[in-house]
Amino acid sequence: MRLLVCGGAGFIGSNFVRYTLERYDDEVVVLDKLTYAGNLENLREFESHPRYSFRLGDIADPEIVASAMDGADAVVNFAAESHVDRSILDPSGFITTDVFGAYILLEAARRAKVTRFLQVSTDEVYGEVIGEASREDALLRPRSPYSASKAGGEHLVQAYHATYGLPTLITRGSNTFGPYQYPEKLIPIVITEAIDRRPIPVYGDGQQIRDWLFVEDHCSGIDLVLRQGLPGEAYNVGGGNLRANLELVERILDLLGRSRTLIEHVPDRPGHDRGYSIDSSKLLALGWTREPSFDAVIEATVRWYADNEPWWRRIKNSDDYQTYFQSNYGDRESLAARR
């Protein structure tokens, strides 16, 4: 099959391209705008792979999308603005990519009559969840500009299934971690700041709960839904590893042999969701299995960042990263001075 992977140069997308090329005979076309989060280094090993090709372009551009989708059997859409803190600083790009971009892809997909359209979504669309894990039929109550834009994209996907019969699928993954994650998200920022013995910013009391999912398990979940999911359905993809942020940060510091005195409690994120929790039994019933040892995958992730310093140092030295860091956390000196 010919697969169009939108946003394939980002964190989960590039891991998914690797997952697919290593297991199947499929042809993979990546369409990616290469925003600050897109990085062709993530796909370097496939540059001359006979079943891989790359198209530079925006999912919100109908002409590029129509041309990239030509001959595609299936579409998997990872392309999104994906970071909550950036959505708080400026929501506009989230609306143009996560909502309008999804609409442009759906329009092209129905014209091209693709046989599968999988929208990669997030457990954050359920909003703040403390207590009972959300099942797929729960109401969507997003609370950040990021999760609201992802929910908007999802609603369009469901509408294209109901109205035009497009064979759509939705996956709602939980907080994902692993190799090639841009160092603005919690786990890679903690690892890389800790390696440099810098203050680790923990929002508020650090007791917020997330369900941590290893990226390879996220990819296998998406792959299973793509091949065996029921059109029109959504599937939760949860890690089954509920952890408070502070506990997770302490674990990473211990693994790196760094002092817990590096932890710096900084002002809480506005509208910070205290918890997420999803029930993955629908996907498990489809035959999905996931890595049973959280320790093993968190250790492997810490090791990957320790072994791949040039990859993340180039990002952290970039102007975009420095500007973002300053806007979100203030300058490094004042973060350190708070200790």
Catalytic position from the list 146, 160, 180, 182: 146
Q: How many residues bind ligand NAD (CB under 6 A)?
A: 29
What distance in Å separates the CA atoms of residue 280 and residue 324, rounded to the nearest whole number?
A: 34
Q: Rule CB under 6 A: choose which of 202, 225, 234, 278 binds ligand TYD.
A: 202
Q: Rule CB under 6 A: choose which of 15, 42, 121, 245 binds ligand TYD.
A: 245
Catalytic position from the list 27, 58, 123, 193: 123
What distance in Å separates the CA atoms of residue 258 and residue 194, rounded to the nearest whole number?
A: 7
Count CB neighbours of 257 within 10 A.
7
Q: Is 123 tagged catalytic?
A: yes
Q: Is 124 tagged catalytic?
A: yes
Q: Which does 109 bind (CB under 5 to 8 A by kind): ligand NAD, ligand TYD, none?
A: none
Do 250 and 258 form a contact (C-beta atoms < 8 A)? no
What's the one-letter identity of residue 335? L
Q: Is 146 tagged catalytic?
A: yes
CB contact set of 305 (below 8 Å; sequence gap of 6+): 188, 191, 192, 195, 312
| Residue 237 binds ligand TYD (CB under 6 A) | no
SS (H, E, C) 123-146: HHHHCCCCCCCECCCCCCCCCCHH
Q: Which does 150 bind (CB under 5 to 8 A by kind): ligand TYD, ligand NAD, none?
A: ligand NAD
Q: Which does 32 bind (CB under 5 to 8 A by kind): ligand NAD, ligand TYD, none?
A: ligand NAD
What distance in Å separates the CA atoms of residue 114 and residue 75, rounded to the nearest whole number?
A: 7
Q: Which CB sits closer to ligand NAD, 125 or 335?
A: 125
What distance in Å separates the CA atoms of residue 316 and residue 62, rounded to the nearest whole number?
A: 33
Distance of CA 318 to the CA centre of its chain: 21
Q: How far is the CB of 2 from ligand NAD (least distance, A)?
A: 18
Q: Which does 152 bind (CB under 5 to 8 A by kind): ligand NAD, ligand TYD, none?
A: none
Beta strands 168-173 and 116-122 are parallel
| Residue 210 binds ligand NAD (CB under 6 A) | no
Distance of CA 49 to the CA centre of its chain: 25
Q: Is 36 helix (H, G, I), strand (E, B) or coil?
A: coil
Q: Which residues are catalytic?
A: 123-124, 146
Interface residue list for ligand NAD (CB under 6 A): 6-7, 9-13, 32-35, 37-38, 58-60, 78-80, 82, 97, 101, 120, 122, 150, 173, 175-176, 182
Interface residue list for ligand TYD (CB under 6 A): 84, 175, 185-186, 189, 201-203, 208, 210, 245, 269
